[in-house]
Amino acid sequence: MALDLFSLAGPVLARIHDAEDAHRFTLLALKTGLVPAPTIKSDPILEMHVFGLRLANPLGLAAGFDKNGEVPNQMRRFGFGLVEVGSVTPRPQAGNPRPRLFRLAEDRAVINRMGFNNEGHAALAKRLQRRRRQGVLGVNLGANKDSQDPIADYETGIRVFAPLADYLVINISSPNTPGLRDLQGRARLDALLARVLPARDGVGRVPLLLKVAPDLAADDKADIAELALHHGIDGLIVSNTTIARPGLQSRHRGEAGGLSGAPLMAPATAALAEFYRLTQGRMPLVGVGGIASGADAYAKIRAGASVLQLYSALVFAGPALVARILTDLAARLRADGFARVSDAVGTGSS
């Protein structure tokens, strides 16, 4: 019943002029129980062990949907194997001026220039301390726009959230914070990893992942892969939103910000396959960007993803999409003779 409510509420949400207002209404509905989330059981073939964690299935909710950790348990019950909250910065941050979130219905895509708007470390930590721990939870860490030492912001985030999360993400790939993507350059990334990994080791062995952009040059990808292996980061998330605008039809196609959704599927999957090749399958990869079907999910796995994440497709298809993807993914694995997800990882990358 709860999943079917989207067929009624979806058209209403689509008519709300400002997409950010529609999103806030969605969060409110989840918080108040207006849209009760059922508990979806995963097919055993989808069970995963990665980053030292057991996942009921490899499909996760990407960061950005629940920046302030308001509804992680509610979203988990729609069938997600993991839920990632954030991005969160040390100090509260208003983000960029509105409007800053745009639905591109014709392209099944979203453009955002939110600018790490969030309530800050203290507010998120308080919510997570009160939360009943259910499922696998990740916290995506960002840096304040006016920070004099962005790496210190990540170190602080690690110390605050290591006791509260199952994994942490260093997000250096959002296009909406000036200068942030510069941290992906070889020298600055080397310095960042040399600081954040010891910070993590000082508070325990929570898995620490790095989230990268899809718009990287070949040399940058090679440098990131080399440094990730050298420093021993636990995994890469490939990828964040893109600043490219590949053949869009919507009137919003010229808006500044990061593009996500269906147009990101091909370039993000190509970047994923390249990172799988560069890391020689020695590091778990999280495939993000454009997943809207079981076929998309399977393509990411065969390109090298051990874990998957989605967000934008929910804007157009609603939460019932999660169960549909998982059902189709399990069927595709069985049809190709795989006994488990891990057996299929990277099988299409050669």
pLDDT per position as a tens digit, 296-311: 999 999 999 999 999 9
Taking the alpha carbons of 219, 192, 72, 133 in that order, is the dihedral positive or negative? positive
Taking the alpha carbons of 248, 253, 258, 259 in that order, is the dihedral positive or negative? negative
Q: Any idea which residue has 């350059």 for tokens?
A: 185
Residue 37 or residue 275, greater confidence: 275
CATH number of the domain within which 57 lies: 3.20.20.70
Residue 293, token pair as written in the block: 């079907």
Looking at residue 5, its pLDDT comes to 44
Selection from 104, 85, 111 nearest residue 316 by Cα: 104
**φ, ψ dihedrals at 230, nearest 5°:** -65, -45
How many CA atoms lie less than 13 Å away from 1 in the CB half-sphere? 4
Number of independent structural domains in the chain: 1
Average pLDDT over residues 269-292: 98
- Residue 233 maps to a domain: yes
Q: What are the residue numbers of the active site?
A: 174
- Residue 349 maps to a domain: no
Q: Percent of the chain, pLDDT > 70?
A: 94
Looking at residue 344, its pLDDT comes to 98
CA pair distance 69, 54, nearest whole angstrom: 21
Looking at residue 18, its pLDDT comes to 85
Domain containing residue 226: 5-344
Looking at residue 277, its pLDDT comes to 98
- Residue 350 maps to a domain: no
- Residue 257 maps to a domain: yes
Q: Which residues pair with 242 in a beta bridge?
A: 259
> Using an 8 Å Cβ cutoff, are 242 and 214 in contact?
yes
Selection from 321, 316, 317, 319 nearest residue 19 by Cα: 316
